[in-house]
A and B are shown apart, each in its own frame.
Chain A
């Protein structure tokens, strides 16, 4: 409902020329890949990923700046409030600027980025994006000391899309593409591999929280 309303506002502003910001229609490709895991996770496990797959149903782009996208503890002057008028509990996606609605299964370990499709969009000041992920699975082994376990994370079935993934870009007519990197280390950071991947168990919970962590997605314009 919110998305529909935003799109109505966008197209109305395009038609009527109101709102003060001029938008021109444009398209751009969107692709996805992953960043390899380095070091150990929160529980001291060293992880070797054998397969990593994700199903992306949709990507939507908005003007709203992201609330919390960076680590707050180690940076001396980190923005945690996002835009000047937002704070926890008050994330505002803002104006819709583009969308890609073609579902794609992505092999995150593919040797080259996987194209998700071409986004139908407009020019504007991009601040964030929303990812609709309907499935994710990672398999591999995790080692801690003398202990090595084989894991197979169960499929991820979210209740809602991932809002507030940072993508700040003043986009006009330049050529390029949006590149989305999934940080597998963030996906797997919260998992104690000593516990089994049972439904509603802590390992699964940690996996889901990793996927829902918006800092697990690094979005850039290339």
Chain B
């Protein structure tokens, strides 16, 4: 269906001239809005039996840009906005009107520390927390397994630009239809926080090592400081492989790197993730 719509849009733009609109939305998908279940059969989930629910998944979205590979920029988001993608979505982030119709094959955005951001759909208290901590990502939730519950609330200051966004079926960037609008979804993948490899295509979602980090104090709440005390060398060598990221030494380092890969495009589409 998407491909048909895309074809129609492409045909419309082929007529030449005219303008149209692009709407960018943010969406956390079921994994963030509902839960990440325990893995069952081939269904994605935690391989070690945990079930996890986010109570918040706040991101500072900004620098949304539309252009082409020649360097022409036709739209640029004026100011970042803070969104909680754990709330029902997709939710509109920004809208660009009167753009020249046609394919604009360079689309990018950022998830960067809050400076002077506007409030999207996030709660005021979370926006304040983001601003106070200079955060780019703030996640909170709980995980349960056989009667044990662990909570977490972590803020990250990682600064990542997602460029050259592309979706396999829809192609690069966006297509602005004459007199119409294209919608481009900035999809946040909450499951990526829990991968146990920075490189392998056989990465699994795990929570056991994170739950086990809850020792100082063992109060049911896992803190970033506790994750920082877990050296990867204390975990099985078959887990938490770091590829070529030599400086990733602890579980906290590992999850911080994973926050650089939350941003996707139109579902399973990808962008070129650059850390800054």
Give the interface of A toward B (CB within 8 A): 42, 66-81, 83-92, 159, 163-164, 166, 186, 189-190, 202, 205-206, 208-209, 212-216
Contact = CB atoms under 8 A, between A and B. Distances in A.
Nearest to B168: A85
Given A72-B257, A86-B270, A214-B243, A209 B233 contact: yes
B276 A76 contact: yes
Nearest to A93: B201
Instruction: Give the size category of B's interface with A.
Output: 35 or more
A212 B270 contact: no
A209 B199 CA distance: 13
Contacts of A81: 260-261, 270-274
A84 B237 CA distance: 28
Contact of B231 (A84, A189, A202, A215): A202
Contact of B244 (A66, A74, A92, A202): A66
Given A77-B276, A84-B164, A89-B192, A163 B199 contact: yes
B195 interface: yes
A66 B256 CA distance: 20
A42 B249 contact: yes
A36 B18 CA distance: 63
B272 A214 contact: no
Interface in B163-205: 164, 166, 192, 195, 197-201, 203
A206 B260 CA distance: 25
A68 B243 contact: yes
A79 B162 CA distance: 11
B42 interface: no
Contact of B242 (A66, A70, A92, A209): A209
A80 B273 contact: yes
Nearest to B248: A72
Interface string B96-119: 000000000000000000000000
Contacts of B146: none
A86 B247 CA distance: 20
A91 B244 CA distance: 12
9 contacts: A72-B260, A72-B275, A79-B274, A80-B273, A80-B275, A87-B270, A159-B238, A209-B233, A213-B244
A216 B246 CA distance: 9
B139 to A, nearest CB: 17
Nearest to B240: A209
A21 B209 CA distance: 45
Contacts of B258: 88
A201 to B, nearest CB: 9
Interface of B: 164, 166, 192, 195, 197-201, 203, 231-235, 237-238, 241-249, 257-258, 260-261, 270-276
Given A89-B192, A202-B231, A68 B245 contact: yes
Contact of A163 (B200, B246, B270): B200
A89 to B, nearest CB: 3
B237 A67 contact: no
When A and B form their complex, which 6 residue pairs have the shortest distance between CB atoms, in order from nearest? A81-B273, A89-B203, A215-B244, A69-B244, A214-B244, A68-B243
A151 B271 CA distance: 45
A214 B246 CA distance: 9
A73 B233 CA distance: 20
A88 B199 contact: yes
A86 to B, nearest CB: 7
Contact of A77 (B244, B245, B261, B274): B274
Contacts of B232: 190, 209
B199 A164 contact: yes
A88 B195 contact: yes
A211 to B, nearest CB: 10
Contacts of B203: 88-89
Contacts of A90: 201, 270
B200 A91 contact: yes
A39 B235 CA distance: 26
Nearest to B276: A77
A106 to B, nearest CB: 21
A79 B201 CA distance: 18
A209 B260 CA distance: 22
Nearest to B243: A68
**Which of A42, A87, A159, A214: most chain B Cβ within 10 A?**
A87
Contact of A88 (B231, B261, B275): B261
